[in-house]
Chains A and B, each alone.
Chain A
Amino acid sequence: MSGWIAEPAGGGKRHLLSIGDLGGEGIREILRLADSFAEVNTRPIPKVPALRGRTVASLFFEDSTRTRLSFETAAKRLSADTVTFSAGSSSLSKGESLRDTAQTVTAMGVDCVVVRHRSAGVAVQLSRWLDAAVINAGDGRHEHPTQALLDCYTIRRRLSDIAGRHVAIVGDIAHSRVARSLVAALQLLDAGVTLVAPATLLPPAVEGWGVGVSSRIDDVLPRADVVYLLRLQRERQERALLPSLREFHERFGLSAERARSLADHAIVMHPGPMNRGVEIGSEVPEMACTTISEQVANGVSVRMAVLFWLLGAQPEVASTPAVEAAPATEQASAAEVAGG
């Protein structure tokens, strides 16, 4: 179990910085734990005392209402206290160094920091400086591990298993932290991946990623179990990466017609927010094959699982939830641990 959380020398600090930290077994553990929290979320009062007395800070150097709300909802349902530092309302935008910010947060006695930043590696840097668990909620183009976890959770719920499935990831791979985390997770879970994009939106040295690459979406769709659409930033066309959004939609967008060419069991995913009419046809989000709302709902359960894993108990206790335990039993143990 020690492999899935980065544990820097000299401390019991545990972090979730990248999918690679977790390994396949770590991902499976979190998905199993998420099942028990999904059950909590169906209750009339979806709240357990697992993290009572713990403080989770959102440190968002870059705006992301969706991800921040998801984490804060997850923390509150675990009875943790939440505080928010957002770039607009604190010293973060006033030139304070990252390290000074880290020291401020440490001085406040926060247990966990959920960090989003436009520069790759910030979560890693903070984990070296902070006396708290760090969760990477998106760092530049690098990773967004909880998004990949909730996506895997969603695939598993819809298709019952991930191993052996074929996932087509379509669109702006080059600039996407979601794609980096998702590809890593899917490979650890033995799924096949094909990236579908024009060469301008593929990452450099993509041949080292160990995935299929195609620029012909119509060849890929019929054999896909999952089509994962990435948001296309509108400014890409200004930097000569694309001639126009219209042409992108023509060549790579999932139109309703293309959606109908999918296998019956296939699902269409999107991390949000969507550009209707660009990467996804205007009518597609309402089609039964799409999972966009489920992804949002599952995000709360998965983030509860991650928070509980990092903060819920002493390390030796945290690693005890039985692999085969039924969700209710497992949840009871989680509640006992923190409430006892």
Chain B
Amino acid sequence: MAERPPMVIAGGTVIDATGERPADVAVGPDGTIAAVGEGLAAGAGGGDRILDARGCIVAPGLVDLHAHLRQPGGEQAETVESGSRAAVLGGFCAVVAMPNTNPAIDSAALVREVQELGRAALCQVEVAGAITVDRAGERLAPMGEMAALGVRLFTDDGSGVQDTAVMRRALEYASDLGVRLAQHCEVDSLAAGGHMHEGEWSSRLGIPGIPAEAEEIMVMRDVALSRLTGAPVHFQHLSTAGSVAIVEAARRSGVAVTAEVAPHHFTLTDESCASYDARFKVNPPLRPADDVAAVRGALARGSLDAIATDHAPHTADAKDRPFEEAPPGMLGLETALALALTELDLAPAEVLGLLSWQPARLAGIDGTHGGPVAAGRPANLCVFDPSAVWTPDDGGGASRSRNTPYVGRRLRGRVRHTLVAGEALVVDGEAQR
């Protein structure tokens, strides 16, 4: 990497896991933080670059545990590069790429391929591997070989591991690899044929539904399997009041489960599907207001570990299909921080915990991401104006796809600068490459 002139992020308020203080942040040519303190901008050299952070929060870069970058196989919807550009625009310095690609990331060769693509990306790309071969839920994928390449998270995301014995063996087998298994909780036999939450709205709209219990039964099962095996289980994109309650009860009893929620599950309800606009189709589906309130409540109580985007790009063509034929998923990387700041009644430090240092630990990258803003640490930083108001449109954005459900929604909080390993990749809200 070429030498860069020293840089000072000037005039902001630093917030990290250790607290909050007004400070400038100096970044050295080696990509690490050189100094943190007041008045660094005043003492900067003539050739130093100054990034204006007045009115902004300077925080450890965000970490997304759950992004679909669609490579290999889905390049019309997204690439590692375009997805990583959306990531840095949203303040993310690292994302975990889900393995439900085509083919699935279920072997060392596929892991290497995506890692190679990740080297040219704007942010750090961590590759998640599949738990089972081709995500088919039958035979274990070579988790040891993939772990040796640095994979720290395994999931069959897009579907859950249906067979209880296979999931038990997967947890046991992986228990000495220093990795974490994550579950997309959905019992296929209950969810089959459903396209939105089963309830008052699905009944009215005539859209076949997916009951909340299709998710909750697998959450319950995996709590039991975590207890049986002693292995941790991470629950992906939990969406119902029941799921949240099960996780809270499990944690109280000492079971090693963790959980993430997606922004759309604390900002949108199933009523959105009344438009039959497939941009509101997502899996797990949007739920009623009671579930949304339960998710918000759990975030407020600190009983969930992370907000993860479930960024799921789809081409306009795919989303213009009939609701029951369109693929599920919505964009998330560029709106997650603003949605959390706008919609959750949480202090910025709490939001950042959910979006930065807590997911960094779960992804196993807390050595380089999410750590305190302190001299010697890699300069993975997100600088955002917590009071800037903006409105997403469906023409902008760095993703190759346009399937955001938030067009026209007023959001508060906008990323101004993002630094990845000391390189300013977003400056004044614009991607630099």
Q: Which of B198, B317, B323 has the most chain A CB atoms inside 10 A of its CB?
A: B323
Chain A, residues 201-220, CB within 8 Å of chain B (1/0): the string is 00111101100000000000
Q: Distance in Å from the Cβ of A20 to the closest Cβ of chain B?
A: 9
Interface size class of A (residues with CB under 8 A): 20 to 34
A-B contact pairs, 16 of them (CB 8 A): A97-B320, A98-B321, A118-B324, A119-B322, A119-B325, A120-B276, A121-B322, A122-B276, A122-B322, A125-B322, A141-B206, A204-B209, A205-B199, A205-B203, A208-B204, A209-B203
Further 19 A-B residue pairs, CB within 8 A, beyond A121-B207, A125-B320 = A97-B317, A97-B321, A98-B321, A119-B324, A119-B325, A120-B324, A121-B205, A121-B323, A124-B276, A125-B276, A125-B277, A125-B322, A125-B323, A141-B206, A204-B198, A204-B202, A204-B209, A205-B199, A208-B203
B-chain residues with CB within 8 Å of residue A119 when the two chains form the complex: 322-325
A99 contacts B by Cβ under 8 Å: yes
Residues 113-148 of A contacting B (Cβ, < 8 Å): 117-122, 124-125, 139-143
In the assembly, what is the distance between CA of A208 and CA of B288, in Å? 14
Which A residues lie within 8 Å of B325 (CB)? Answer: 119
Taking CB atoms, residues of chain B closer than 8 Å to A177 are 206
Which of B199, B208, B277 has its CB near the most chain A CB atoms (within 10 A)?
B208
| Interface contact A140-B206, CB-CB below 8 Å | yes
Query: Interface size for chain B: under 10, 10 to 19, 20 to 34, or 35 or more residues?
Result: 20 to 34
Q: How far is the CA of A117 from the CA of B133 in the complex (A)?
A: 36
Shortest Cβ gap from B271 to chain A (Å) = 13
Chain B interface (Cβ < 8 Å from any Cβ of A): 198-200, 202-209, 211, 275-277, 317, 320-325
B46 shortest CB reach to chain A, Å: 57
Flag whether A32 is at the interface (Cβ < 8 A): no
CA A179 to CA B284, docked complex, whole Å: 28
Give the residue name and chain of the B residue nearest to A139 (CB). B206
Give the interface SS of chain B, mostly helix, strand, loop or mixed. Answer: loop
Would you call A303 an interface residue if the criterion is a C-beta within 8 Å of the partner chain's C-beta atoms?
no
Contact call B199/A143, Cβ cutoff below 8 A: no
Q: Are A208 and B276 in contact (CB under 8 A)?
A: no
- Interchain CB contact under 8 A, A121 and B199: no
Q: Mark A134-168, 1 if CB is under 8 A from B, else 0.
A: 00000111110000000000000000000000000
Q: How far is the CB of A106 from chain B (nearest CB, A)?
A: 15
Q: How far is the CB of A165 from chain B (nearest CB, A)?
A: 24
Which residues of A pack against B, CB within 8 Å?
97-99, 117-122, 124-125, 139-143, 177, 180, 203-206, 208-209
Task: Check B276–A121 contact: CB distance below 8 A.
Answer: yes
On whether the beta carbons of A98 and B207 are closer than 8 Å, the reply is no
Measured in the bound complex, the distance between the Cα atoms of B324 and A124 in whole Å is 13
Residues of chain B lying within 8 A (CB to CB) of residue A98: 320-322
Nearest CB of A to B39, in Å = 56
Complexed CA–CA distance, A97 and B322 (Å): 9
A97-B317, A124-B276, A125-B276 known; A117 and B322 CB under 8 Å? Answer: yes
Cβ of A204 and Cβ of B207 under 8 Å apart?
no
Q: A121-B276, A208-B200 given as contacts; is B320 within 8 A of A180 (CB)?
A: no
Give the complex CA separation of A99 and B317 in angstroms: 8
Residue on A with the closest CB to B325? A119
Q: In the complex, A142→B198 CA distance in Å?
A: 14
B277 CB contacts on chain A under 8 angstroms: 125
A204 and B199 form a contact (CB under 8 A): yes
Q: Is the CB of B205 within 8 A of A142?
A: yes
Q: Which of B206, B276, B324 has the most CB of A within 10 A?
A: B206
